Amino acid sequence: MVIGFVNVFKPAGYTSAQIVARVKRIYGVYGRDRKIAAGHLGTLDPQAAGVLPVAIGKATRLIPLLEDQRKAYTALLVLGRSTTTQDALGETVARGDLPEHWERKLEDVLPRFIGKLTQVPPMFSALHHEGKRLYELAREGKSVERKARGVTIYGLSLLGSEAPNRARIHVACSEGTYVRTLCEDLGAAIGVPAYMGALVREASGPFVLYESRTLEEIANDPQGSVTPPEHIIPFPTIVLDLRGSADFRAGRVVPLPQGAPASRVFVRDHSRTLVGVGEAHGALLAPRKVFV
């Protein structure tokens, strides 16, 4: 039984769903389980590359327990044109000449965007509206009202500029931040249309780019590509004996074998198989998620 997280490197040109389907097939064959569950921890746009964490098996049930949802990106900001999709794939909406000393002006406005902001989700996004994805409505030529959402930019810096109209920026932000919207807003702040030319996600919570694996690497080493849940979610682990683990699997409250190290713990049986997540109540342990 495979339970854990895979730090996948998603190449540009693939949807997050396509990557998850590929990973699911790899582990379905490896674990001899065609129905194995798999799910990503946050959509990455098709044209973007980088970190796409995928939960495998019963680890999909642990996704709500992941508290660190911060993201980090490097983006290419292109000035002088805005598009319908706020990225390189859209049709031109507006053009404009770059102001003199635009690099300095861009660097000067960056501090304005650090902290709590509100963003209106773009029409070309995966959010739902009355049962349809927004991008599906956009492709039909429709536009609907979207509510502004609060996001947080923890860090924003200019990495460098390239003549005549490109700049690389680094963004550390909260979950749900649209970097393409940020790029358009940065252009507006210096008085010029702008769009996001390219995007690489460098981190998603505890998953970082230099530890990510390609689909080929994962296929060649499925077991070695899985990170145990304890390495991602900071719960301590306790081990139950044969009777205790059987009762826990059956959904019954069991005595804690020792003092509770935390309110929530991972539970393994005598063979060190991960059987679930428990919640401590005094000297008792109540099952909250049971895997096997």
In eight-state DSSP terms, residue 213 is B
Give the Cα separation of 264 and 258 in Å (integer): 14
Residues 179, 75: contact at Cβ < 8 Å?
A: yes
Looking at residue 270, its amino acid is H
Biggest CA pair distance of the chain: 75
Q: Containing H/E element for 291?
A: none
Peptide bond into 229 cis (omega under 30): no
175 with 188, same domain: the answer is yes
Number of domains in the chain: 3
- What pLDDT, on a 0 to 100 scale, did the predictor assign at position 143? 64
Q: Does 243 lie in the same domain as 193? A: no
Instruction: Quote the CA–CA distance of 10 and 168 in Å, as a whole number.
Output: 20
DSSP-derived secondary structure for 31-92: TT-TT--EEESS---TT-EEEEEEEEGGGGGGGGG-----EEEEEEEEESEEETTSBTTSPE
pTM: 0.89
For 148-186, letters b (16+ CB in 10 Å) and e give: eeebebeebebeebeeebebbbebbbeeebbbbbbbbbb
d(CA 59, CA 292): 12
Contacts of 290 (CB under 8 A, 6+ apart): 248, 249, 251, 275, 276
Q: Do residues 170 and 98 both lie within one domain?
A: yes
Can you say whether residue 133 is alpha, beta or left, with left for phi > 0 and alpha for psi between -120 and 50 degrees?
A: beta
CA atoms in the 13 A half-sphere facing the CB of 83: 16
Alpha-carbon torsion angle 105, 107, 110, 112, nearest 10: -50
pLDDT tens profile 116-151: 999 987 766 666 555 666 666 556 566 666 688 899
In terms of domains, do 39 and 153 share one? Answer: no
Shared domain check, 112 and 184: yes
Residues 164 and 254 in one domain: no
* Domain identity same for 89 and 159: yes
45 is catalytic: yes
pLDDT score recorded for residue 112: 96
Residues 250 and 198 in one domain: no
Question: Residue 253 sits in which domain range?
Answer: 237-290
CATH code, domain carrying 271: 2.30.130.10
Same domain, 112 and 190: yes
Within the chain, residue ranges assigned H as helices are 16-30, 102-109, 134-139, 179-189, 215-220, 242-249
Residues 38 and 121 in one domain: no
Spatial separation of the C-alpha atoms in residues 47 and 200, rounded to whole Å = 9
Block residue for tokens 């635009």: 102
Q: Residue-wise pLDDT tens for the chain (292 aa)?
A: 889 999 999 999 999 999 999 999 999 999 899 899 999 998 898 999 999 999 999 999 999 999 888 999 999 999 999 999 899 988 999 999 998 899 999 999 999 999 999 998 776 666 655 566 666 655 656 666 668 889 999 999 999 998 899 999 999 999 989 999 999 999 999 999 999 999 999 999 999 999 999 999 999 999 999 999 999 998 999 999 999 999 999 999 999 877 667 789 999 999 999 999 999 988 899 999 998 7
Catalytic residue among 45, 87, 108, 241: 45
Residues 198 and 78 in one domain: yes
How many beta carbons lie within 10 A of that of residue 76, not counting itself? 19
CATH code: domain of residue 106: 3.30.2350.10
**What angle separates helix 179-189 from helix 102-109, to the nearest 10 degrees?**
120
| 257-286: pLDDT as tens digits | 776 677 899 999 999 999 999 999 888 999
* CA 47 vs CA 34, 69, 130, 228, 263: distances in Å: 29, 21, 26, 30, 41
Model pLDDT, residue 125: 61
If asked whether residues 47 and 104 sit together in one domain, one would say: no
